Amino acid sequence: MSLDSSTTVATGGTAGLRPPGGAPPATGFRIGLAARRLGALIALAVLILLNLAITPHFATMQTLSVNLTQICTIVIVGVGMTLVIATGGIDLSVGSLMAISGALAPGFFTGALFHGGNLYVNIGFGIVIPVMVAGLFGLFNGWLVSSFRIQPIIATLILFIAGRGIAQVWTNGDLQVFKAPEFQAIALGHVLGVPFQVWIMLVFVIAAAWMLRKTVFGRQLLAVGGNEPAARLAGVPVKRVKRLVYVISGLCSGVAGLIVIAMNSAADANLIGMGVELDAIAAVAVGGTLLSGGRATVVGTLIGALIIQLVRYTLLANGVPDAAALIAKAALIVLAVWLQRQERA
Amino acid sequence: MKHRWSGAGIGVVIALALLIAFGGIRYDGFLGSYNILTVLRYNSMFALVGLGMCFVIMTGGIDLSVGSVAAMASVVSAYLSPYGLLPGLLGGVGAGLVAGTLSGLIITKLKILPFIATLAVMLAASGTGLLLANNQSVAVSYDSAFTTLGQGNLLAAFKPEWIDGDNAGWMGTALGLFFNFPTPAWIALVAYIVGSVVLNARPFGRHVLAVGGGEEASRLMGLPTDRTVFAVYLISGGLAGLAGVILAAQFGAGQPIEGIGWELFAIASVVVGGTLLTGGKGSVFTTLAGVLLLGLIFTILNFENGMGWISLSAYWQSVVRGAFLLVVVILQSRLARTAPA
């Protein structure tokens, strides 16, 4: 069901992503992008058909839920990552920001750190404050990138290293176990039979796809990634746009961190979001967003994450060890990016 | 290409000297030979990985695979360790070279960005390592000489008796450092000397810097750009393999899940060492200074806790390292803007 809604957005979103600065002829570009999007969709369809044929119990609601919940945090982080990459940047700090948000939250919603008087007020603080803090750290990334012109990979490497340390220092490295069903509903609750976190993911994907397509900010973001000097000359507030995408990426990471701890009933600063930056970047690349910037598809990122997850699920469900699935994932990433190159050429 | 030591490069050497002086004055035993040799032994793995990363970054690329390649190589060398030192060494380095070849081919033949290509190789190497090791660590054989690669001191056999005596004096301490110099540190030192010669005195080094300065221009000038790019990933893979061998030999086991985050630590060392991430400029020995600088932060933290005044958890080290990196890149961005290009 949720798959259907995402594909609708997919076809709807295609037309909106025109090249910034209008370098290549519009028609050829649109065909190229449609082909690429179609290629990813076909790959996804083939995977689903293959699984229907060979994997037992594939066509069940449970399988759908398992696969979708596996990718939720990756896609939510991937939404922010797509926008950052669209501006020609990259954000390595997402996993550490997830750890910060996840480590901060329990102190608020359990009322241990600050008691708002009422459980729901506490939960409100437990959601808003950690996400805001992650957003502020995102602002720090954006500030380094825009005001100091530090390369994004280095600028965000700082918080990649220090961010997890901050979360660990905050919790002293201890596991915080909690039981807060009202808070954990953000991951474990169901609406219409679909886990609530999947709805959150879809809201993020749809909102970002709409933003890229329909808002001035979305266009400015692609313009900055496509040709920064040209964008600047055209009056795009380059610095502000860059700062903002890193803030958005930080906010997305903050939300993803909350979902992880809600799923686990525990916050472990050592592990939350470990390695998620690479999973998110892989999903973005497989989804068809150009890593050099200027062209982006948020729905593609969702499809990319789905493809990677389904390949892994197919292998695991058919008795292939997890380590071998890693090798398949590597081959898949190379193949997908190579095919996209062929289509552009 | 006259100035090999950029402003930031000198900066890191000065910072390292200041940090050592600070530690030496503040803590007893900080400059003792035991501490010095322990620091060198442990950080030699990171030094090797950092050297490979330095070459890759000078071409304007990046190699995310080094950590998992080292982990895979540690498994391979652990399996080969019963057959002796040489098979273990060659097996580990060979495994690294295979991974480097793969990265190089994906980048030069399929024209895929280094970031994505080496991300894929990272996953593949980690999967291979886990498969080979059956998801466990693999014990190294202590019957062969293999473990001396990590635990031994190369020249210890030639050490004269009187050096360890009570009244050997400063001469004895100095010679003691020399004869007790850890084997992995010798390996790293030789690698850096060779790396420096290759970068500064061989055509290949010029090609590396030229490709980093402008790949298209180098191609038009007739330089073998693809071969150069391929070679740096091969070097990086081989050095990561060598680091994996030392890892296995030093800790007595091949460890398929080690190496997480090594790539980013190596990148941080290279950047702290003043090599520009945009390529075209760089120095080998300042990278070594960068590795030691980031490594010493951990040692200093330990000594500081030992003083008993404060108790900082080990988690502070990543915060301090991050802060250090922040200061360095901000200074570099200031220098880059004031200095003529």
List CB contacts of A265: < 8 A, sequence separation 6 or more: A177, A178, A179, A184
* Candidate from A112-126, A152-166, B230-244, B288-302 with smallest mean pLDDT: A112-126
Q: Which of B64, B65, B135, B325 to mutate to test the interface with A (most CBs of A within 10 A)?
A: B325
What residues of B are in contact with residue A278 (Cβ under 8 Å)? 64, 119, 122
pLDDT of residue A246: 96
Structural contact between residues A98 and A257, judged by C-beta atoms closer than 8 angstroms: yes
Using a CB–CB cutoff of 8 Å, tell me whether A317 touches chain B. Answer: no
Structural contact between residues A95 and A223, judged by C-beta atoms closer than 8 angstroms: no
Report which of residues A17 and B68 the model is more confident about: B68
Q: Which of B319, B330, B331 to mutate to test the interface with A (most CBs of A within 10 A)?
A: B319
Domain boundaries, chain A: 2-8+58-344
Using a CB–CB cutoff of 8 Å, tell me whether A157 touches chain B. Answer: yes
Interstrand relation of A190-191 and A266-268 (parallel, antiparallel or unpaired): unpaired
> Given an 8 Å threshold on Cβ–Cβ distance, is B329 in contact with A154?
yes
For residue A267, the SS3 value is strand
pLDDT of residue B164: 64
pLDDT of residue A301: 92
d(CA A241, CA B88) in angstroms, rounded, equals 52
Structural contact between residues A89 and A152, judged by C-beta atoms closer than 8 angstroms: yes
How many other CB atoms sit within 10 Å of the CB of residue A207?
Answer: 12
pLDDT of residue B167: 63
CA dihedral B175, B179, B183, B189 (to 10 degrees): 30
Side chain identity, residue B338: T
d(CA B227, CA B230) in angstroms, rounded, equals 5
* Candidate from A129-133, A322-326, B274-278 with smallest mean pLDDT: B274-278
Burial of B190 (0-12, 13-18, 19+ CB in 10 A): exposed
* Candidate from A249-253, A303-307, B200-204 with smallest mean pLDDT: B200-204
pLDDT of residue B148: 82
Q: What share of chain A is helix, strand, coil (3-state, %, to 5)?
A: 75, 5, 20
CATH class of the B7-338 domain in this structure: mainly alpha
pLDDT of residue B7: 57
Judged against a pLDDT cut of 80, whether residue A98 lies above it is answered with yes
Distance from the B160 Cα atom to the nearest Cα atom in chain A, whole angstroms? 45
pLDDT of residue B75: 94
pLDDT of residue A32: 56
pLDDT of residue A19: 39
> Given an 8 Å threshold on Cβ–Cβ distance, is A150 in contact with B111?
no
Q: What is the ipTM of this complex?
A: 0.82
Report which of residues A196 and B281 the model is more confident about: A196
> Given an 8 Å threshold on Cβ–Cβ distance, is A153 in contact with B127?
no
Using a CB–CB cutoff of 8 Å, tell me whether A337 touches chain B. Answer: yes
CA dihedral A254, A257, A259, A260 (to 10 degrees): 170
pLDDT of residue B310: 66
What residues of B are in contact with residue A291 (Cβ under 8 Å)? 113, 115-116
Mean pLDDT in order along chain B per 10 residues (341 residues)? 53 85 85 84 92 92 93 94 90 96 94 90 93 88 82 76 65 76 91 91 85 81 87 96 93 86 87 75 85 86 75 78 84 64 40
> Given an 8 Å threshold on Cβ–Cβ distance, is A92 in contact with B264?
yes
Residue A165: which of B106, B271, B315 has the nearest Cβ? B315
Average pLDDT value over all residues in chain A = 83
Q: Which residue of A has its CA nearest to B315?
A: A165
pLDDT of residue A91: 93
Q: What share of chain B is helix, strand, coil (3-state, %, to 5)?
A: 75, 0, 25
> Which region holds residue A109: left if phi is over 0, alpha if psi is between -120 and 50, else beta?
alpha
Cα A276 versus chain centre, distance: 9
Burial letters for B294-307: b for 16+ Cβ neighbours within 10 Å, e otherwise?
bbbbbbbbebbeee
Q: Which residue of B has its CA nearest to A168?
A: B315
CA nearest to B5, candidates B281, B331, B270: B281
Q: Which of A141, A154, A160, A340 to mutate to test the interface with B (most CBs of B within 10 A)?
A: A154
- A2-8+58-344, CATH topology level: ABC transporter involved in vitamin B12 uptake, BtuC (1.10.3470)
Answer positive or negative: Cα dihedral of B47, B49, B55, B61: negative
> How large is the average pLDDT for residues A335-342?
81
Q: What is the DSSP string of A84-153?
A: HHHTT---TTHHHHHHHHHHHHHHHHTSSS---SSHHHHHHHHHHHHHHHHHHHHHHHHHHHHHS---HH
Report which of residues B47 and A47 the model is more confident about: B47
Between residues 110 and 149 of chain A, which touch chain B (CB distance below 8 Å)?
144, 148-149
What residues of B are in contact with residue A274 (Cβ under 8 Å)? 260
pLDDT of residue A194: 82
A124: tokens are 């409100």
> Given an 8 Å threshold on Cβ–Cβ distance, is B264 in contact with A275?
no
